[in-house]
Structure 1
Amino acid sequence: MLLRLNTADGRPLHEQVAGAIRRAIADGECAPGDRLPSARDLSLALGVNTNTVLRGLRTLRDEGVLEFRRGRGVTVAAGADRRSALLDRVRELVAEAAHSGYGRSDLIELIRGLP
């Protein structure tokens, strides 16, 4: 699993860690049931404190994306790979925008304008 953090991102590091893991799962780098590297290994790879990684992992556990199992470590929860659901929602949004007279470039500009 190759994770990277964006140093220009202003979000707290634990949120960036959680987001990087969410994306790795959505992109198919990790599948449900796969075991994640240890928090220590992740912290070394990302160049952040182990507690920062643990906070991000706990966030994902609370969202139901990860499972913490004694003796098995941290694994990707069943149903965590929701990329297809996200793609369906994006397709619906593009269709709704087209129905309202907006093109894809208009939709992209609307998204970029969000805070």
Structure 2
Amino acid sequence: MLTVKVRKDDPADLFEQVAMELRRAIAEGEAKPGERLPPAKDLAAVLGVNTNTVLRALRLLRDEGILEFRRGRGISVVGIPERGQVIKQARELVHYARTHGVRVDELIEIIRNAD
């Protein structure tokens, strides 16, 4: 079992604390790419939080490219937090570009020329 913990007196949302703890555990090698995580209900029981809180954190890490959900096979680690941060920043950049009238193909060209 991973060593993750949350503090209910912490001002950060519980799902963000769970996601942060899972990122830390993965970064420190407690769970390596290719390994499966315990079921969300087991993580929730250990942490003393609602299963939906854990599921929200897991979905966040999936969206960051750190976890992969497979029906019938559970949740596996597929990336490392550093890559997840790059993906998160890229999504934020795409959103920022769109709000300022820059298309994705234009943004790609800007990135290619930024080197």
Same fold by TM-score, threshold 0.5 exceeded? yes
TM-score range normalised by the length of the shorter chain: 0.5 to 0.7
TM-score scaled by length of structure 2 = 0.67
Alignment of 1:1-115 (within 5 A): 1-77=2-78, 79-80=79-80, 82=82
> Aligned residue pairs: how many?
82
TM-score scaled by length of structure 1 = 0.67
Q: Deviations 1:16-65 (Å, cap 9, x if unpaired)?
A: 01001000001110000110000000000000000000000000000001
Unaligned runs of 5+ in 2: 84-115
Unaligned runs of 5+ in 1: 84-115
**Identity of aligned pairs, percent?**
60
Counterpart amino acid of 1:55? R
1:38–1:73 contact (8 Å) kept in structure 2:
yes
